[in-house]
Amino acid sequence: MPRTVHIIGNGDSAMFYNDAPRKGLKLACNLAPFPIEDLYASCMVDFKMVRHIHKGDIDVPGEWILGVRPKAYMEKNPQFFMQRSHQIKMFYDRLPSYAANYTDLNCGHFAVYFACCRLRAERVHMYGFDSIFDFNLRSFTDTFINSDRGGMNNNRLTNNWRPLWQNIFKDFSDGRTEFILHHMHDNLKFKIGKNVTIETYGKRGEILEPEEGKSDKIWIPPASGVM
């Protein structure tokens, strides 16, 4: 059986993880939008995420895998590090050659790259990675951390993030890793190799970039309230 990793992102299609039993190791991005049984770890890459944990605004249960910026935050706040050291599974600072710096990677990039490099996953299932498909950067993280989700910033981020996804998929296209993306539709915004497949659920259409002069507030949360 191939080494399988399920990565639960923060987009609204993360809910598809719950559509069937999932065998394999599980990774979450930041704080998962719902409880995940037997979670291996939560991945975090941003200062603001660990800062909100430090302030007591939120909490992330279980063990953590932290990137360079959370590591730097811990070094500046040794008491906080001591309080939470039992949750830190490891710091991971490997940067892909096609990323200019650590700030290029969002939490999803980090978790997928970690699964491929460190865990040597042979099959990676991805849920809640909506920005790959749609003009939609809405995230469960937005419910406790304010982020700019205006049209201009969304456009900037998607233009930065999608090439990184393309490079990650290509990086592991030598037979090492198969990627399965779970989404409402299969209208991907860039070319993919044979190691990437899309499992569609057909529960909602594509979310498009707003026309000039019109509101970009077109995201509608699912009726269940789960993102």
Per-residue model confidence (pLDDT) at position 44: 96
Q: For residue 140, is pLDDT > 80?
A: no
Per-residue model confidence (pLDDT) at position 4: 98
**Could you give the strand order of the β-sheet that contains 88-91, starting from the edge strand earlier in sequence?**
88-91, 64-66, 39-44, 25-29, 4-8, 123-127, 178-183, 196-200
The whole-number average pLDDT for the span 12-39 is 94
Split at pLDDT 50, 70, 90, the class of 69 is: very high
CB 39 within 8 A of CB 52: no
Split at pLDDT 50, 70, 90, the class of 214 is: very low
The whole-number average pLDDT for the span 176-204 is 88
pLDDT over 90, % of the chain? 62
Helix, strand or coil, per DSSP, at residue 199: strand
One-letter amino acid at 82 equals M
One-letter amino acid at 30 equals N
Which range, 63-77, 132-146, 156-170, 179-193, has the best average confidence (pLDDT)? 63-77
Q: For residue 216, is pLDDT > 80?
A: no
